[in-house]
Amino acid sequence: MAKEEKNYVNKEREDEMEIYGYKQCLWKLVLVAIGVVCTGGFLLLLLYWMPEWSVKATCTQTSLKEAEIVLLRTTDEFKTWFRVKVYTVFFPGTDPMENSAPRVSKTMENDEGARAAQHHVEHRKKKFLRKISENKAFMVRYFEHHSVTYFWNNFLQNFKDLEGLTEGISWSVIHSHHSKGLSKDLEEYRRLFFGANEVEVKVPSVFKLLIDEVLNPFYIFQLFSVTVWTFNGYYYYGVAIIIMSVISIVTTLHTVRKQYIMLHDMVAAHSTVRVSVCRPDNEIEETLSTDLVPGDILVIPSNGTVMPCDSVLLSGTCIVNESMLTGESVHQTKINLPNPVKMSKGLEDDEIYSPEKHKRHTLFCGTTVIQTRFYSGELVKALVVRTGFGTTKGKLVRSILYPKPTDFKLYRDAYFFLLCLVGVAGIGFLYTIINSVLNEVRVGTIIIKSLDIITITVPPALPAALTAGIVFAQRRLKKLGISCISPQRINICGQLNLVCFDKTGTLTEEGLNIWGIQRVEDNSFLPSEHNICREALVKSHFVACMAACHTLTKIDGKLSGDPLDLKIFEETGWVLEEATEEETALHNQIMPTVVRPSKQLYPEPVAVMDHEMEMYDLPASYEIGIVRQFPFSSSLQRMSVVARVLGEKHMDAYLKGAPEVVANLCKAETVPESFPEVLKIYTKQGFRVIALAHKKLGSRLTWHKVQNVSRDAIESNMEFMGLIIMQNKLKPDSSRVLEELRKANIRTVMVTGDNMLTAVSVARNSGMILPQDKVIIAEALPPKDGQTAKIHWLYADNASRHLDTSDTASEFIDIKMENKGSGDGLHQMNHYHFAMDGKSFSVVTEHFQDLLSKLVLHGTVFARMAPDQKTQLVEAFQNIDYYVGMCGDGANDCGALKQAHSGISLSELEASAASPFTSKFSDIACVPNLIREGRAALMTSFCVFKFMALYSIIQYLSVTLLYSELSNFGDLQFLFIDLAIILVIVFTMSLNAAWKELVPQKLPSGLISPSMLFSVMSQILISAVFQITSFLLVKQQTWYEVWTPNSDACSSSKLNVTLEHNNTSSQDEKNIKNYENTTVFFISCFQYLIVAIVYSKGKPFRQPTYENYPFMVTVLVLHIFIFLIMLYPVEVIDEALELVCVPYNWRITMLIIIIINAVASFVTEIFLLDLTPWKLLSKRKELGVSHNPANNHQEVLNQKSKSCLSSFFSCGYRKPKAKYMYLAQELSVDPDWPPKPKTTTEANKNHTENGACQIITIM
């Protein structure tokens, strides 16, 4: 076969995939069909499990242009394969964005095209296709994968998805070519390609889910086992396995379907609405939102709507709630996209439109338009740019539907261990065949026995056994108020060593509270004041600034806007009045908003000239009109307004923002000398501080002139008025929980949509960043004007600048730099944290891939993160081998909640549909509870897996020994072992509750570890030695003979109970009854119980075993019962279990063998495995090694200790397996890390051979 040509779809994007073209091959299909028949359908199952094999076994490789089937492979570390069918349709064109309406006439006659069209298009599309003339139709090829349609692109000679109007379209082109709307024909034509504008989550049928579940390899093996047992006449256990499997399948189907229905209902809400569309002839037409296509002009209703698509605002303004995207209930004002032709610089100001870059002009799908503003009767219009799954909401839903697989070492090791058992079974299989042939056993019996040894070695009950601990853990979580829709994730929770937290609503309460104000008089701070709503302050400029300097608006009679603005305004007790829609339509956009004190605040009229308050004679009413607003600017860290008091001839300018910024814009003589010290006092206590300033404008500045004055002219030579001190309250349990996680060596990270400095402040106040730890701000800038991307490293002064001192929307960082010395002392520190915002994170992921892992290793605060960036951050942590938990409460957290190893939602709304876990309590106390239960469940899984492995090997040894004598266990013997001992032990062993506190010790992440392997192998060896010894020893007894129905070995014994045998009974055809069988049966039964007790571990992850009463009672009852029937046999039981009488002396000998076996097992497991790590841990503690989650070097030390253990306590060093531990080890000896203060790191344009960027650090 020719060498496969590598092509890619979604090149250099997160979902990049390799693509290969194939055509079906008839002779290969015939060969596969023959193979399927010959293997009884097993080959078909194998091809179903392996898509790559399926395609290569039935197809031949071809070019993508001719492909009938494409094979996709992800380029991430999982290398997942997908088989996708290519469809063909006939459309009137091949480019959906061509502006000329296609010429149409009569029906197309093509059977293949019609069948494909039936698959792809809805009724309206087929109706449109019937107009297409056959000679004007073009063949269009496409395939669908993960809800995205990829069309063949002749220019690229590859398949490509459609991105709507977001590919290289400039502002001027949008206004000149796309602002008139689409004709009906052109809209129908585009809909052929883009499909219906809906984000539809299809709920799979029960039958499809059933097939997917039943074809799981474990269930197929169970079916195989039950079939073998049926031919062997072993019905009882087979029925038990079938019942357990049916229960497991039904439970899984119910859970999965319920999850799909929840997601479907969440997405379907508001997904279909009636909208108004503007046609080229300015006709307004009503239609359904599902009919929208890129290029349509949408008329936004004045009373608001839920956006059904991504669109760019062409005219008017909108007030939008984007909490679905950001998680922050901050109402954003969207303004229309500027038209460069009408701007002063013309096309010089033209830009390429990008929804992500130009968010201020973009209305995103799923966000709520609360209110629109239009002037002089002009409609508010928006151009549709993306629809369906291409929208922001669609991408979010896709991240939930198709998350990247999570790699859990336990499951990988479990499959590997099972393969080892299969290898052991293969040896037994061959031994059974050879031994049976040599003893001339019938062919039918040989087949059944050789297959039976496989079912014994690989236990079919293993899935049910492992599920038991998860089910019990799920029940305990439910009692703690945590619901679970993905039970398999409970085990993964036990491995979590990093938890990401959203901030707003998760760590902190919603909103802010004003602690007080501190005004300035005569260049000095007055004492702090807590009561603002008092008569003495009503007409002060300080309160006027609080009441007027904002961008609040009224929506349905209710104030709405930035929560910080809203809180400050409400604290004044003033009221806000806006112009009505009628007034706005009659006038222009400078119709002012008016604020005034409430009637309760009006003081008695006085005529006093107070120097402090600047009081004047009260007019009949006191109102302030907001003449012009300069909105908050993230780069300037401030906002301002120009206002006029009713009746006054002059105007006033009011400014608020970051204290340092405001102080720099004020006259130096108005700023108190103690300003830095006072600011330091508040910020050190974790308060948010806002500064206010005022300036009296000249009387010559008229109402109309102020509309054209520059912002810089207004915001200069201000007079400093004082500070507003605010609190962002933590939830009561946040600090306690974070401290508990810190003590347990579990890293905590903040991932929020809020601004940087607020997040850093909350991180310090909550204990996520300790007081003595340093914060390094990584401010990354993208390439610009020929310059390369760069990162500025800013060391935050934790004593004075760890709080956001700006408006809530602030993103710009003004950090005090460390100037003391060279910074070498700080450079060598171990306790440091990186902080960055979403913009910097995007630059780092694109231009500094080599630095990304280093940054996330110590990254603690990630602010202004978009939903997809949160998901990318979780993946970045996973890429360096962290087990990541995510705790959030908003729809913007959905992707990260789904991607994380364990997602915990504190909301029962949108986030719960994507999150495996949902807490009914809205605080993070659920996180340690979940980790504790996860650790208990994981420890239970380890115990059960080891027990089931030992059970299989012990029974394998028993059967192999008996096969050598052409014997075997009887059906009831098997049933007693499998049901009465194994299943009961497994289910009761799983009942151990979680330990009451989190401990620093970590569970092993997989089964393939030195301690686990030593434990299993040592117990296998011990069991084999004592079982073989007893098997051989019984043959050495003086009374031993080949057993027959007439044998009576008990006649000369000291046994007081005499067993009578039926001398006339027929010969045992299966040779079940014999001395070897009875001996091996008793020895193996006790070995199962011994191993169960040895492997039932308690502290520090589970409650002590003696507190698991069902397990203790079960073990005690089984011990007593087996001891009784061994020492004092009962005829009925012996006949049922097909046991034979053996002398009393031999029974005592078996008891001694069992006791020695138990002692050996306990000594090996407890003294050689359990106690040694504790000694090593105590030794480390004596050396003063502490457990500090902020310092990853400690985990390196832990890894060294584990390496010592794995080397049988030789202190040889091994490279840590976890990437983050290895990285921490490397960085601990790197003299250039962390970067020194006031340095800049640049990415070199020249790439190295491996594609990584060279990093240049500039001092």
d(CA 755, CA 812): 9
d(CA 1253, CA 856): 18
Query: What one-character-per-residue DSSP string does 608-640 give?
Result: ---TTTT-----SS--EEEEEEEEEETTTTEEE
Is the bond preceding 1100 in cis, omega lying within 30 degrees of 0? Answer: yes
Q: One-letter amino acid identity for 431?
A: Y
d(CA 180, CA 173): 12
Distances in whole angstroms, Cα of residue 344 to Cα of each of 340, 348, 361, 1237: 8, 9, 19, 42
d(CA 340, CA 171): 7
d(CA 154, CA 143): 15
Q: Which member of 502, 773, 889, 978 is catalytic?
A: 502
Closest CA to 547 of 529, 569, 565: 569
Contact 324, 306 (CB under 8 A): no
Contact 297, 180 (CB under 8 A): yes
Closest CA to 891 of 920, 875, 868, 874: 868
Is residue 502 flagged as an active site residue? yes
Query: φ, ψ for residue 240 (rounded to 5)?
Result: -65, -40
Query: What one-character-per-residue DSSP string does 360-398 give?
Result: GGEE-TT-EEEEEE-STT---EEEEEE-GGGSHHHHHHH
Q: Beta strand pairing status for 284-288 and 158-161?
A: unpaired
d(CA 734, CA 740): 10
Looking at residue 338, what DSSP letter applies? P
Contact 544, 582 (CB under 8 A): no
| CA-angle at 20, arms to 80 and 91, nearest 5° | 115
Helix (H) or strand (E) holding 1131: helix 1131-1137
d(CA 462, CA 833): 44
Instruction: Considering only the C-alpha atoms of the chain, give the largest distance between any 2 of them, rounded to a whole number of Å.
Output: 129
Query: φ, ψ for residue 160 (rounded to 5)?
Result: -145, 145
Looking at residue 966, what DSSP letter applies? T
837 exposed, middle or buried (CB, 10 Å; 0-12, 13-18, 19+)? buried
d(CA 1206, CA 588): 79
Q: One-letter amino acid identity for 83?
A: R
d(CA 577, CA 1214): 71
Distances in whole angstroms, Cα of residue 1101 to Cα of each of 16, 620, 966: 41, 74, 46
Contact 24, 68 (CB under 8 A): yes
Contact 116, 86 (CB under 8 A): no
Q: 1032 is written with which tokens?
A: 């051989």
Non-local (6+) Cβ contacts of 548 within 8 A are 595, 624, 626, 641, 643, 654
Residues facing residue 574 across a β-bridge: 597
Distances in whole angstroms, Cα of residue 641 to Cα of each of 249, 544, 547, 706: 64, 11, 11, 11
Residues facing residue 1256 across a β-bridge: 1242
Residues facing residue 694 across a β-bridge: 654, 719
Non-local (6+) Cβ contacts of 598 within 8 A are 573, 574, 575
d(CA 1088, CA 1083): 9
Q: Which residues are catalytic?
A: 502
